[in-house]
Structure 1
Amino acid sequence: MIQGFFQGIAFLFQGFSLITQKNIRGFVVIPLLINIVVFCGAIWLANVQFDIWMDRLLGWLPSWLSWVEWILFPFFAVLILLVIYYTFSIVANFIAAPFNALLAERVEKVLEGRALPESSGWKALAKNIGKTLGSEVKKVFYMIKWMPLLLIITVIPGVNLIAPLAWVVYGSWMYSLQYSDFPMGNHELFIKEELAILRKNRAHALGFGAATSLITIIPVLNFVAMPVAVSGATAMWVKRLSHG
């Protein structure tokens, strides 16, 4: 379990070296630009709206419990930032989905040492755009399905002590699904099959997702997080998930 978790982390960091390779760089440009634009929007929104949202969240406290704000403030601050960055990550991936599928295809071809077939690459973008966007919609519905349970855990006193861990596990699993979908989708696998594969490799998936969550919230690194994660997930697919 522990070994698999750290191997999952290592797969994510392989993405940094993969996106710099000559045969892959050209497929990184558009996902990179989309990610930069969207995350700049996330940073702007966080700066402009943070105090407003905090006042609304903590405004329900009576005056005699105002001291509780000092306890709740760090928790809600982290929660708001995670929600903003995670939401914008979903938006960025939805917009860039067709290009991420192309990037995953190119990375797999490079790792496998096989030439690209004529039916793939940029020529296949228009043909597959509906499929890739449809897959993104299904992933979003799967992610939303678990949100009510997490929100309940977050607001119930006592139980909310495990809320940070629950959000970390949730984010790690969803990031793993989000980015593994691109290489697996290129092999005509859908969310049901993808989840079955990830469950069989749960430690690798959580390690990869946890590392992805980390670089997504680190300034500067979050700009390259999407192409790095797509490339790292493809490496994980080629070297681990596709076996058996």
Structure 2
Amino acid sequence: MGHFRSFLDGIGFFFQGLRWVTRHPRWWLFGLIPALIVFVLYATVLYLLGTNALAIADWATPFADGWGEGAQTALHALFGLVIFGAGVVLFVVTFTATTLILGEPFYEKLSEKVEETHGDVPTGHELPLWKSIPRSIKDSLVTLGYVLLFTIPLFFLGFVPVIGQTVVPVLGALISGFFLTVELTTLAMERRGIARKGRFVLLRGNKAPALGFGVLLFLLFLIPLVAVVAMPAAVAGAAIMVRTRLSPA
């Protein structure tokens, strides 16, 4: 029951962030700018992937060239659906990292403003922009590596009957949600001087709230345009979670 309660607490942090941005609409609009730019770029790539999914499936299944037309069509449709689904999951997982990197000055300021409304803002660990952006890129690539380490096996397990349609989507949501929390809490944790390894340790020790926060966002980000609208609230909620739950000192 304690873990379930903590999971719900994690969900609650998003709604606290949503409440904050609704009370500060100017900062919500401010946080929409980089998210909207990245969304347009990603939507274009997804459109191209969707329109070419069957062609990619045909190229990836040369072993089926001798099959009957009906069997080939079914296989290509299945492969095309899985390829597009993998693209959507990759979109969700990398959207946050890409948006945070490109919009770091925006979200750093937004995160600071959230903390200001809760008291003093931690200081003493600031980096100049020319140092913080390369470090953010490096950290995001490391996180993406961990994501792929888990999601690539899940991709192939998705072809297994029953398991691929039940267990795999749940595991995918949990894994993707956890790493979304990793990305979103980076700004507030770096403000406290917590490096990448320390952030992973801290979040592994608070899996339930980290999963509650991240899984909700993963599901929301699957809905078109919601990722853009919810991004400022997600950044605000992550700052509140770090300040009040993960690293209150």
Question: Which interval holds the TM-score relative to the shorter structure?
Answer: 0.7 to 0.9
List gaps (5 residues or longer) in structure 2: none
What is the aligned counterpart of 1:14 among 10, 13, 16? 16
The 5-angstrom pairing of residues 225-240 of structure 1 reads 225-240=230-245
Q: Distance in 2 between matches of 1:238 and 1:58?
A: 50
Cα distance 1:111–1:133, how it changes in 2: closer, same or farther (>3 A)? farther
Q: Equivalent residue for 2:140?
A: 139
Aligned-residue offset at 1:153: 3.6
TM-score using structure 2 length: 0.81
Within the alignment, does 1:223 sit opposite 2:228 as a pair? yes
CA positional deviation for 1:174: 0.9
Whether the 8 Å CA contact 1:32–1:227 is kept in 2: the answer is: yes
2:94 alignment counterpart: 87
Counterpart of 2:51? Answer: 51
Counterpart of 1:190?
195
CA deviation after TM superposition for structure 1 residue 216, in Å? 1.7
Q: CA deviation at 1:107?
A: 0.4
Q: Is the 8 A contact 2:8 2:212 kept in 1?
A: yes
Percent of aligned pairs with the same amino acid: 20
Verify the 8 A CA contact 2:111 2:239 in the aligned structure 1: yes
Residue identity opposite 2:204 in structure 1: R
Are the aligned partners of 1:93 and 1:226 in contact in 2 as well (CA < 8 Å)?
no
- Contact map agreement 1:28 1:227 (CA 8 A) in 2: yes
Structure 1 residues 185 and 27, CA, compared in 2 at 3 Å: closer, same or farther? farther
Asked if 1:171 is matched to 2:176, the reply is yes
Moved more, 196-205 or 58-67: 58-67
Find the aligned partners of 2:100 and 2:173 in 1 and give their Cα distance: 19
| Aligned-pair Cα RMSD in Å | 2.8
* SS across alignment from 2:224: coil
Cα distance change on mapping 1:158 and 1:221 into 2, 3 Å:
closer
- Match of 1:111, SS state, is coil
- The 3-state SS of whatever aligns with 1:189 is coil
SS of 2:117's equivalent in the other structure is helix
Deviations 1:44-79 (A, max 9, x none): 222233121342135414433323345455443322
Shift of 1:128: 4.7
Deviation at 1:190, TM superposition (A): 1.0
**How far apart in 2 are the matches of 1:240 and 1:205?**
10
| Equivalent residue, structure 2, for 1:151 | 152
Change (3 A) 1:182 1:73: same
CA contact (8 A) 1:168 1:210 kept: yes
- Note the C-alpha offset of 1:151: 1.4
Letter paired with 2:103:
A
Task: Indicate how the Cα distance of structure 1 residues 41 and 146 shifts in structure 2: closer, same or farther if over 3 A, else same.
Answer: closer
